[in-house]
Amino acid sequence: MALLTLNRALVVHRLFNLPAMTKKEIAIYKKTLISLYDGKFLNIFEYGSGFSTVYFAKFLRKEGVNFHVDAVDNHEGWYGRVKNLIDRAGLQNEVTVHLHPFQPFWEKEGWDWQVSPPVGKFAPASSEEINYIQKPLTLNKKFDFILVDARFRRRCLEVAAQALRKNGIVCLHDAERSHYHSTTKAYPYSQFIDSGHFYPFEKMAHRMWLGSLENSAVKELTNVA
Ligand SMILES: C[S@@+](CC[C@H](N)C(=O)[O-])C[C@H]1O[C@@H](n2cnc3c(N)ncnc32)[C@H](O)[C@@H]1O
């Protein structure tokens, strides 16, 4: 049911393999990636693989950026689909998707879309869930940019702070959800952005968030035409 709603809402994005992001978000994301590139190498980590993984990798290739993306996913079927898109785009050397399989939250017993669960009820518990959250710390590198766009976002934001290189930036998608906000406070440079709508007449307005431990340019990066 949840997946059906997600798939319906994102029908245009899925048709064109576009990230599930607004136009403004995509523009900010691109501007941020380019601003972080030092002319040598750009390391990116993504919690939650998807169309964004392939779309931004193609963008960076077109811009002549040397980069590598590590993405992690928990859903085997989705992981297979993303891998397929990566192969078709010839991005096997630039993009690695890691699988740590565990049940999506919407399949867990007691999950109810209508009611916010009590704090801790669906907290990560299995080793695969913990490995998923810890993934960027196990890859022996620091990241210039980390996108948090899938499971256990509060925990992922905590880990991301430890995995960033100096001046690195973290982006939180769906930042309108207030239950993620407690961990954004760990980042001294922090900016929420109204990112607009997916479609004309969409009721809900989306928000994104950029944060950094040391990079004071976060605010400027959110000014896009
Ligand atoms: C909403 S997606 C976003 C991923 C990516 N950052 C993007 O913008 O394309 C986040 C997670 O939802 C899950 N997901 C999304 N669509 C799915 C589908 N059709 N089947 C199974 N899982 C799905 C995947 O596990 C994925 O990691």
Instruction: Express as a percent the part of the chain with pLDDT over 70.
Output: 96
- What value does the mean pLDDT take over residues 142-171? 97
Ligand 1 center from residue 126 Cα (angstroms): 20
Q: Write down all domains in the chain, each with its CATH number in brackets.
A: 2-221 (3.40.50.150)
Of the pLDDT bands very low, low, confident and very high (cuts 50, 70, 90), residue 2 is: low
Amino acid 23: pLDDT:
92
51 lines ligand 1 (CB under 6 A): yes
Q: Quick: pLDDT tens for 102-127.
A: 999 888 888 888 888 887 888 999 99
Residue 67 CA to chain centroid, in angstroms? 17
**Span from the CA of 216 to the centroid of ligand 1 (angstroms):** 31
Q: Determine how β-strand 164-172 pairs with β-strand 206-212.
A: antiparallel
Q: Determine which residue's CA is closest to atom 14 belonging to ligand 1.
A: 78
Contact 193, 205 (CB under 8 A): no
Tens digits of residue pLDDT in 24-70: 999 999 999 999 999 999 999 999 999 999 999 999 999 999 999 99
The predicted structure's pLDDT at residue 14 = 80
> Identity (one letter) of the amino acid at 92?
Q
State residue 7's pLDDT score: 65
